[in-house]
Structure 1
Amino acid sequence: ALAIDRQQMNENFLGLLKNDFNTLINYSLLAIILTIIVFFRNFELTVLTMFPIVLTGVVTAGILYFLGLELNIFSTVVCTLVFGVGDDFSIFLTQAMQKEHTTGKNELPTYRTSIILAVFTTILSIGSLIFAKHPALHSLALVALIGMFSVIIITSTLYPFWFRLLITNRAKKGLSPVTFRLFFNAVLSFLYYGIGGLLFSAIGSFFVKRSKGKTLNFIKLILAKFLTSVLYTNPFVKKKLIKNPNEDFSRPAVIIANHTSFLDTLALAMTTHKIIYLVNDWVYNSPVFGKIVRALGFYPVSQGIENGMEKLREKVDQGYSLVVFPEAERSYTNDIKRFHKGAFYIAEEFGLDVVPVYIHGNSEVQPKGDFIIYDGSITVKVGDRIDKNDERFGKNYSERTKKINAFFREQFAKFRSELEDENYFKKKLFLSYLYKDNEVVQEVKEDFNKNKSVYFELNKHIPKDANILHIADDFGQKDVLLTLQQASRRIFSLMKDEEKRQIAEQIYLVKRRKIKYIKNSTEIDKKIDVLLVADESFKADTLADLPETVIFLNVKNTLTENNNYTLKFSSDSLKVFSSE
């Protein structure tokens, strides 16, 4: 006789079925992730697409637990259907949001309507089983209804909110899209800086007030090392200090530097620790490092330089140099703005030399208005000391302000030319097209890699403050490069292709640079200095008035028959004509 335990056999069967089902679920989830990665070719978009699916699972499981319902084999099978539908909806929404980010067109209502209709028909078909008398069918329908309602709420509301918050809205504010790595690197650096600043304010300020001489000098050295160490929390940012063999800061001076970023103060700490900063109120009164700033004798410029001359003179007599950002505020670009007179007034009153320090890279690494620290390089160069009696820079502080301003601009331009090669703005350019349609991203990358040497040469033939009429047939990448290279340029970009024009208009740098996309030449409101032709179908001779410089980029049409223009430069891809 053979005895069979039917209950044990059923439990074993269901256990094996459950294990097989869980294994298949894991395999299918992995397959979905790989498929989405291949489709979008972007890790962040993959995570955002998977977010509603995971959240739907958590919400559904939570509601079932709250209602006291247990998952059985039938309801588990239905869950896979719900997650599959949620996966489809997430992909559709990602495409809609990506299209909006690329072209500016809001196609979300169309996709949302389609999704709601699909959910509604699914609910009608499966939800009708809620009226079934069999417990298994009733449970199946209940799980399906809970899951489908979770899907529709999460995908149609929360998902678009997060996508716009993290990607679309940043571009509309003129901020670059970011990756998860950039975000976490920035958070790590600022946490380190914030915690360190609090500790220095709480502990360091106590010792500073009671220290003099070598002890105070040692504390300042430690603080300078800490400020410099903040820069080293990000391994994707290269740091370099170019010292001046003739400058050791043993003699007090007024140190002037260009100002584009929050990181400028940290970068200056690489040069010397024997400095006193003239700072803004938000630094002086900061809850993070305000105490240590006040204890070290930093001076708030809002109180007026005249009112602080005695305090500053005391610091100078102790051997400290004074750090002033003569532009008075941070700039959004790497252009050197007009210098204010304060730094040079102090130098004249105290009989101090002026030491220029050139900071390169911070305008790209951590631009004004953004907390993200981008990949790049920071280079600090200590310039030659300008003697207080050197009359080449003027006889009084008013004259010296203007002449040193011009000198600083000239030297910084040379410094930039030494550091910025054809690949310097590559990462910045590619970030401008992050999360846009794959076809657009791929074409921009291929175009840059193919023509980067040509674009680098092109920059040399266009003045830094030129008004440019660009006859374009791209996605705006040439306009981005030209204004990254020189922010003072104003570009009127004429595109026949409406879709390409819409894509170019959505680039975040359009909000920060002087770029205007036009449909016809009547929209030009400035005198054009340079005509840049990059569209093969355009005929330059059709324009009534040609500017002084006409440049042909990767096109065959030229001005060979125009006797008023002389060919100034020629290569296979670039032709530069001038009427001068």
Structure 2
Amino acid sequence: MFLNEFVTEKNGFYTIMSVAKVSDVQRDAFVGSMAKEKEVITIDRQQMNETFLGKLRDDFNDLINYSFVAVVLILFVFFRRVELVIISTIPIVITGVVTAGVMYFFDIQLNIFSLIVCTLIFGHGVDFSIFMTSALQKEYTTGKNEMATYRTSILLAALTTVLAIGALIFARHPALKSISSVSLIGVFAALLITFIFYPILFRICFFNRVKKGKSPVSLRLLLHSTISFAYYGLGGILLSVIGRILVRVLPGNHEKKMLWFRKIMAKFLTSVLYSNPFVKKEVINKDNETFEKPCVVIANHTSFLDTLAIGMVTHKVVYLVNDWVYKSPIFGKAVQLMGYYPVSQGIEGGVDHLREKVEQGYSLMIFPEGSRSEDNVVKRFHKGAFYLAQEFNLDVVPVYIHGNSETIPKGDHIIYDENITVVVGKRIAAADTAFGTDYSERTKKINQHFREEFAALRVKLEDENYFRHKLYLSYLYKEPEIVQAVKTDFESRKGLYYEINQHIKDNARIIHFANDYGQLDFLLTMQQPKRKVVTFISDSEKRAIAASNYIVKKRTILYPDSASMQNEKHDTLLVSDKETITPEVLPITEQVKTIILISNFPLKMHFAALGFQTVTDEAALVVLKR
């Protein structure tokens, strides 16, 4: 009987088994020597166990990888934005890392059972992340905090796991205790990360920009802007350092070397603009201005990109700059080397220096507004540029920069997909008295002339699709059905919205009765930022969505809860709600001069009876005035 345990026979073939105990030091040598023997098979039980566990570990890793891919696809189906998917996966990954770290700290060993439990924890992390992302996206969409409901659902899911598996912590068997320990650690780690860390991360990534009055941005915009700014910063520093060295070391006329340095610097600044292919650039110079004759170049100032845009026009200029540019760690030394003048030292104090530059053939580049405008409104000109033009008997060349305020608005560091157009205006001769005889008078008249020309340029360039990207970005990361509704409405009515803009004054005070998500208010105030809009939206959820748009922080737009607005001072009444608005609720005062009806034509007769005359009567638009 004893030998039967070591000898087996099948079809006349006998197998004899024997057990050999060797030390760990001798194991490899013994296995190697047995391998040389014919008809002898050596089975190393320790190696077999290690191989089995290794295969199990590899299979588990494959399972995690496949599951992670499946989770990413599921999250994409849920949220439809790669940015939301990336943010949603972060707490899932962190939960796994924290769970593994706590297990290592308490020396909890993984076994086949606890590995299976880890998949359960992974699933909980996915569920918690989806619940919390949905809650935060809902809050981002409407501005209303509804996290309590979602947190209750998460807590109930965690409680069932704790009661069902966590109770095994009291079991005596080590394997059962291991299962319970892993599940408890994983569930509590997932709860802490989901409830505390994840909302903070989400708010930093999505809420903060909107609260500061900045547009939401996509991942591509963020990455591309980062690359462009890195290129600008590193390239600027290298060019500044290398250029200064070469100007000092290379032989030849100093001014010729400086002219080449300015040209290279202008080319580099232009290349920064061209580092983003999604931004279209155009220079219009109908009068073929060459800047060979020194002049004072003036331009509107709305963006950090304005200096770069001037580089597309000419390099033979000396800028009057503020202290930030003059002392910049990137271009400061190069700016000083090229003879730029800091306006903080006073225009009068720089007359001799600037006269020398003019005599060398350079033009003077000045932003007469003094500081960047936050919108497309040309502000009041300061007198410094025109004082210098009179002092040096120089012509004035206006340069109109359009699109920079949308490409990089003041206070923002994201390069948006917009169009930059630089128009070189007609030279205003120093002897041209049509703009006045002294610099004070010329300041006012050229300021007015510049505003009129720039307004005409805006009308020419800003068609019905001009603010399309801005509008869509303002609803980015809101719930998909809302985003789709806004896009569908705009694409079907953009021509109508563009025409409405033509009927409303630039500084109008508008009362608006609407039933949308605020997209028309967005377009009206983007087109003319001086407009003031008070809008009543009968649907409370739509009203909340409109009020949560970032544009509300930048423009004067109010969304009252009540339709009673008799005390509001307004000169324009706009009705785009064709279903719920009746004549009784409409505030008609003596100040109202314009009424615009969108598809709500039954009101036309009511206003006609009040003395309003129809000036436009189209299929979807009626305009009345008095």
TM-score, length basis structure 1: 0.95
Aligned to 1:573: 620
Aligned to 1:242: 284
Matched, 1:543 2:587: yes
- The offset of 1:201, in angstroms, is 2.8
Aligned to 1:147: 186
- The offset of 1:213, in angstroms, is 2.7
Matched, 1:166 2:205: yes
Letter in 2 for 1:570: D
Aligned to 1:337: 379
Count of matched residue pairs: 579
Q: Retained in 2: the 8 A contact 1:278–1:299?
A: yes
Counterparts of 2:456 and 2:532, CA distance in 1: 22
Letter in 1 for 2:615: K
- The offset of 1:6, in angstroms, is 10
- The offset of 1:122, in angstroms, is 2.3
Aligned to 2:232: 193
Letter in 2 for 1:545: T
- Structure 1 residues 232-279: Cα deviation after superposition (integer angstroms, max 9, x where no partner): 111211111112443100011111111111111111110000011111
Matched, 1:560 2:605: yes
- Structure 1 residues 501-527: Cα deviation after superposition (integer angstroms, max 9, x where no partner): 111111001100111112346557663
Matched, 1:42 2:81: yes
Counterparts of 2:583 and 2:336, CA distance in 1: 62
- Gap runs ≥5 in structure 1: none
TM-score, length basis structure 2: 0.88
Counterparts of 1:110 and 1:305, CA distance in 2: 63
Change over 3 Å in CA distance of 1:165–1:524 after alignment to 2: farther
- The offset of 1:133, in angstroms, is 2.4
**Partner residue of 2:174 out of 113, 135, 138:** 135
- Structure 1 residues 291-313: Cα deviation after superposition (integer angstroms, max 9, x where no partner): 11111111111111111111111
Matched, 1:455 2:500: no
Counterparts of 1:555 and 1:139, CA distance in 2: 69
Counterparts of residues 119-130 of structure 1 (less than 5 Å) = 119-130=158-169
Counterparts of 2:61 and 2:600, CA distance in 1: 59
Q: Retained in 2: the 8 A contact 1:539–1:557?
A: no
- The offset of 1:208, in angstroms, is 4.3
Letter in 1 for 2:619: D
Counterparts of 2:100 and 2:280, CA distance in 1: 47
**Partner residue of 2:431 out of 368, 371, 389:** 389
Worse overlay, 366-375 or 564-573: 564-573
Q: Retained in 2: the 8 A contact 1:283–1:290?
A: yes
Matched, 1:498 2:547: no
Counterparts of 1:20 and 1:61, CA distance in 2: 18
Aligned to 1:355: 397
- The offset of 1:125, in angstroms, is 2.9
Letter in 2 for 1:513: R
- Structure 1 residues 344-374: Cα deviation after superposition (integer angstroms, max 9, x where no partner): 1111111111111111111111001111111
Letter in 2 for 1:184: L
- The offset of 1:495, in angstroms, is 1.7
Counterparts of 2:104 and 2:48, CA distance in 1: 28
Counterparts of 1:417 and 1:524, CA distance in 2: 34
Q: Retained in 1: the 8 A contact 2:508–2:532?
A: yes
Aligned to 1:407: 449
Q: Retained in 2: the 8 A contact 1:366–1:374?
A: yes
**Partner residue of 2:92 out of 35, 53, 71:** 53
Structure 2 SS opposite 1:559:
helix
Aligned to 2:131: 92
Q: Retained in 2: the 8 A contact 1:327–1:338?
A: yes
**Partner residue of 1:320 out of 339, 362, 367:** 362
Counterparts of 1:518 and 1:208, CA distance in 2: 63
Structure 2 SS opposite 1:167:
helix
Counterparts of 1:17 and 1:216, CA distance in 2: 70
Letter in 2 for 1:157: I
Q: Retained in 2: the 8 A contact 1:470–1:531?
A: yes
Counterparts of 1:309 and 1:113, CA distance in 2: 71
Aligned to 2:507: 465
Change over 3 Å in CA distance of 1:544–1:526 after alignment to 2: closer
Change over 3 Å in CA distance of 1:352–1:190 after alignment to 2: same
Counterparts of 1:217 and 1:237, CA distance in 2: 29
Letter in 2 for 1:266: L
Change over 3 Å in CA distance of 1:23–1:408 after alignment to 2: same
Q: Retained in 2: the 8 A contact 1:552–1:574?
A: yes
- Asked which structure has the greater CA Rg, the reply is 2
- The offset of 1:15, in angstroms, is 6.0
Q: Retained in 2: the 8 A contact 1:490–1:515?
A: yes
Matched, 1:517 2:559: yes
Counterparts of residues 426-445 of structure 1 (less than 5 Å) = 426-445=468-487
Q: Retained in 2: the 8 A contact 1:471–1:533?
A: yes
Counterparts of residues 244-323 of structure 1 (less than 5 Å) = 244-323=286-365
Work out the percentage of aligned pairs sharing the same amino acid: 55
Worse overlay, 558-567 or 491-500: 558-567
Counterparts of 1:137 and 1:208, CA distance in 2: 77
Matched, 1:486 2:531: no
Structure 1 SS opposite 2:220:
helix
Aligned to 2:70: 31
Counterparts of 2:301 and 2:486, CA distance in 1: 31
- The offset of 1:131, in angstroms, is 2.8
Counterparts of 1:18 and 1:155, CA distance in 2: 28
Counterparts of 1:555 and 1:11, CA distance in 2: 78
Structure 1 SS opposite 2:175:
helix
Change over 3 Å in CA distance of 1:524–1:515 after alignment to 2: farther
Aligned to 2:35: none
Worse overlay, 360-369 or 32-41: 32-41
Counterparts of 1:151 and 1:509, CA distance in 2: 36
Structure 1 SS opposite 2:603:
coil
Worse overlay, 300-309 or 536-545: 536-545
Counterparts of 1:301 and 1:423, CA distance in 2: 39
- The offset of 1:74, in angstroms, is 1.4
Aligned to 1:228: 270
Letter in 1 for 2:589: D
Counterparts of 1:30 and 1:571, CA distance in 2: 54
Counterparts of 1:560 and 1:437, CA distance in 2: 39
Q: Retained in 2: the 8 A contact 1:18–1:73?
A: no
Structure 2 SS opposite 1:560:
helix
Q: Retained in 1: the 8 A contact 2:287–2:425?
A: no
Counterparts of 2:540 and 2:270, CA distance in 1: 48
Counterparts of 2:295 and 2:411, CA distance in 1: 31
